[in-house]
Amino acid sequence: AEHVKVCVFYLCVCMCHHPTSCCSVAEIMSVLFFHTMKYRPEEPRNINSDRFVLSKGHAAPVLYAVWAETGYLKESELLNLRKVDSILEGHPVPKQQFVDVATGSLGQGLGAACGMAYTGKYFDKASYSVYCLLGDGEMSEGSVWEAMAFASYYQLDNLVAILDINRLGQSDPAPLQHHVEKYQKRCEAFGWNAIIVDGHSVDELTKVLSQPRHQPTAIVAKTIKGKGIPAVEDKMGWHGKPLPKEMAEGVLKDIQARIINSNKRLYPATPTEDAPPVSLRNVRMPSAPSYKLGEKIATRKAYGMALAKLGRYNEHVVALDGDTKNSTFSELFKNEHPERYVECYIAEQNMVSIAVGCATRDRNVVFASTFATFFTRAYDQLRMAAISESNINLCGSHCGVSIGEDGPSQMGLEDIAMFRAIPTSTVFYPSDGVSTEKAVELAANTKGVCFIRTSRPENTVLYNSNEDFHVGQAKVVYKTNDDHVTVIGAGVTLHEALAAAEMLKKERINIRVIDPFTIKPLDSKTIVEHAKATRGRIITVEDHYYEGGLGEAVCSAVVNETGFNVHRMAVDHVPRSGTPTELLKIFGIDRDAIVQAVRKMLSSSANAK
Ligand SMILES: Cc1ncc(C[n+]2csc(CCOP(=O)(O)OP(=O)(O)O)c2C)c(N)n1
Ligand SMILES: *[C@@H]1O[C@H](CO)[C@@H](O)[C@H](O)[C@H]1NC(C)=O
Ligand SMILES: *[C@@H]1O[C@H](CO)[C@@H](O)[C@H](O)[C@H]1NC(C)=O
C-alpha cells in the first residue's frame, strides 16, 4: 500500500484537478483499495464485492487513480479527465462501472452507503462491507447526521465511514478545524465506534481497518489538505485549483524519484461469494385488482394494499417510510412483510438516499413513501438519484387542499412540478383503487425515478378490474357523440369533473372527461384527438399549484395545435384549514367551478362567432 500510495499521489497530481482534496486521502484510498477491501477489480459491480462510496465526490481524480492502479482503467485514459468523450467526468457517475451512486452534491454519500449496508446485512445477508469516504467540510450537512443515526439504530457493523479531517473547506476552514476529538465525540454520541488515526500513516490505517467491528465504525483521519505539495499544504486558497505548471512539474519530478519501479502489481483480496443472485425482471401481480365498480376507497389506501400484494409474490420488493406508515398505508406492507420494511423515521432526505442505496446493483425493488409535500426537502437527493441512474419508486400521499383540516403545511401542492422536472421520472397520478394498483405494478417495472401521487379522500372505483393500464396512456372516462369541452382532471378533481358532467347534462351540455393516469409522460395523442372533437376546447383542473402541474403539462402537449383554447384551474395561493369540500370550493377546483368554467368557455366562443 505504501508503494501504491506514491503512485496514486503521482496520478492525482498529473490529473491536476482538486489536487489538494485528493492528496489528503492518497494513503486512505491506497490502504482501502489494496489492503482492506475485498473485490474483483476486473468486474467492479460484482455482487459479492465490498462497496465504496466517495461522498466527497470532487476528489474523483483519486478514485480514478486507484482504479488505474487496479488495472481496470488505462493510465492514459486518466489524461482525458473531464473531456466530453471520456467516462471520467468531473465527479463520479455510474457510467463508470466502479461507481454505484453519483456524488458531488456533498452530504449524500453516507445515506446511500447506509442503504447498501442495510441491504448487505438484512436482505442479502452477505459478507460484503461498505466503505464511505467523507470530507470534514461536508460534515456540516444535516443529511450526514441523519445517516449517522440510521446506521447505529440498525447496527450496521458492515459499514465504515472514513472522515478526512483535512481542516479546510472551499472558502473557509471547516468549523471544527483540526479538532479530531470533537468529531470522535459526535460520532460516539450517534452510536458509532470512532477511532482517531493519522490519516497519512499507512501503518495506522491498515491496523485500524483490520480490526473486527461490532458497530458502525468511523475512522477519524487527521490529514493535511494538499499533503505532499509543500507550497500548498494546509493552506487556504488552493481548493479546486490546478497547480501552476512549474509547481506541478517540480512535484512530479520529486514523486517520480520515489516510485519504486517494480512491475509488481498488487491485487486486492477476493470477496466471499455469498450474495444471492437476484432477478428483478417481471415483478408482476398474480391477479387482477379485486375492487368493485362504485366501491369507495382512498388511493393512499389502495397504494398500501397494492404494495402488500406485490410483496406477497415478489420477495425483493421492499418498503421504506418516514414515520407516516399509517397515513401513507405502507403499514399494510409492513404488517405482512415486516422483514422487508425499513422504518427511516423522520428523516426524508436520508430515506431517499437509503432507497437509492438499496436499489444499487439491482438488489431490491424499492418503494419509499411519505406525504407528497415532504419529498420537497429531499429534492437534492431526488435530483442526484436521476444522475445516479437509480431505479426507485416513491409514493407521496396527502396531495393538495383535499386533505382538509390539517392545513397547508401538510398539503402537497408543488410535488407534480418537482417530479416532472426530474429527467428520468415517471409521474403517476391514479384516481381510483384499480388504477392505483396498476400504477404500483407498472412503477416496479419502470426504470428511473417513479412517483405515485395519492390522495386522502375516499373516491369511487371507476375502472373494471380487467382494465389495462400503460405508462403514458390516458383514459377517456366520460363521453358522448356530441361533446363541447374536454375536461382533464386527476385524483379528486377527476371525480369533481365527472360530477360536473352529470350536472351539465341536465343543461344539455355534454363534456368529455379524461383521466391522464400518468402526468409524465402525458398522453398527448389521446388529449389532442379528443380535444379536436370538442373544437380544441380544454379545461384542466388540478389539486396543485398552477406552476408546473397538470395544466402546464397539457399546455405543452398541445403547443403545436392551432385553434386550441386551454383554460386552467388550480390552487393559486397558500391554502388554509377547512373541510375538503370547503377548500375545493374556495380554491375553485370543485364541480361547481368546473360547471361555471364550461359555461363560460362555451358562451365566450359563441360570442366570438
Ligand atoms: C451540497 C454542496 N454544497 C457545496 C458544494 C461546493 N463544494 C465542493 S467541494 C467544497 C468543499 C468541501 O470541503 P470538504 O468536505 O472538507 O472536502 P475537502 O476538499 O476539503 O476534502 C464545496 C463547498 C457542493 N459540492 N455540494
Ligand atoms: C397512527 O398510529 C398512531 C399510533 O397507533 C395513532 O396514535 C395515530 O392517530 C395514527 N395516525 C393516523 C393518521 O391514523
Ligand atoms: C411541436 O413541433 C415541433 C416542431 O415540429 C416538434 O419538435 C415538437 O416535438 C412538437 N411538440 C409537441 C408537443 O408535439
**25 Cα nearest atom in ligand 1:** 21
Whether residue 505 is found in the same domain as residue 418: no
Q: Is residue 288 part of a domain?
A: no
Does residue 30 have its Cβ closer than 6 Å to ligand 1?
no
What is the Å distance from ligand 2's center to 257 Cα?
68
In whole angstroms, give the CA distance from residue 186 to residue 204: 22
The sign of the CA dihedral 61, 66, 68, 72 is negative
**139 Cα nearest atom in ligand 1:** 15
Is residue 609 predicted with pLDDT exceeding 60?
no
- What's residue 545's pLDDT? 98
Whether residue 172 is found in the same domain as residue 253: yes
Domain that holds residue 105: 1-257
pLDDT in tens, 582-601: 999 999 999 999 999 999 99
pLDDT band per the 50, 70, 90 thresholds, residue 140: very high
Whether residue 437 is found in the same domain as residue 497: no
For ligand 2, atom 9, name the residue with the nearest CA.
Answer: 326
Whether residue 42 is found in the same domain as residue 103: yes
Q: DSSP string covering 511-552, please?
A: EEEEE-SEEES--HHHHHHHHHHTTTEEEEEEEEESTTSHHH
Whether residue 150 is found in the same domain as residue 14: yes
Is residue 202 predicted with pLDDT exceeding 80?
yes
What is the Å distance from ligand 2's center to 326 Cα?
6
pLDDT band per the 50, 70, 90 thresholds, residue 1: low
Specify the range with the lowest mean pLDDT, choosing from 98-102, 245-249, 528-532: 245-249
Q: Can you give the CATH number for the domain in which 362 is found?
A: 3.40.50.970
Whether residue 89 is found in the same domain as residue 238: yes
- Give the chain's domain count: 3
Provide the CB-side half-sphere exposure for 24 (13 A, CA): 32
The end-to-end CA distance of the chain, in Å, is 84
pLDDT in tens, 362-384: 999 999 999 999 999 999 999 99
- What's residue 10's pLDDT? 79
Whether residue 395 is found in the same domain as residue 506: no
Q: Is residue 391 part of a domain?
A: yes
Whether residue 318 is found in the same domain as residue 244: no
What is the Å distance from ligand 3's center to 562 Cα?
13
- What's residue 397's pLDDT? 98
φ/ψ of residue 32, rounded to 5: -60, -50
What is the Å distance from ligand 1's center to 106 Cα?
6
37-64 average pLDDT score: 98
Q: Is residue 278 part of a domain?
A: no
Calculate the CA 434 to chain-centre distance.
26
Does residue 108 have its Cβ closer than 6 Å to ligand 1?
no
Which of 108, 107, 3, 97 has its CA nearest to residue 51? 97
141 is catalytic: no
pLDDT band per the 50, 70, 90 thresholds, residue 265: confident
Residue 252 CB neighbours (<10 A): 15
pLDDT band per the 50, 70, 90 thresholds, residue 260: confident
- Domain end, chosen from 257, 287, 313, is at 257
For ligand 2, atom 4, name the residue with the nearest CA.
Answer: 326
Whether residue 515 is found in the same domain as residue 540: yes
Does residue 364 have its Cβ closer than 6 Å to ligand 3?
no
pLDDT band per the 50, 70, 90 thresholds, residue 259: confident
Give me the chain's average pLDDT, please.
96
Residue 121 CB neighbours (<10 A): 20
State the pTM of this model. Answer: 0.97
Ligand nearest to the CA of 225: 1
**135 Cα nearest atom in ligand 1:** 15
Q: Is residue 585 part of a domain?
A: yes
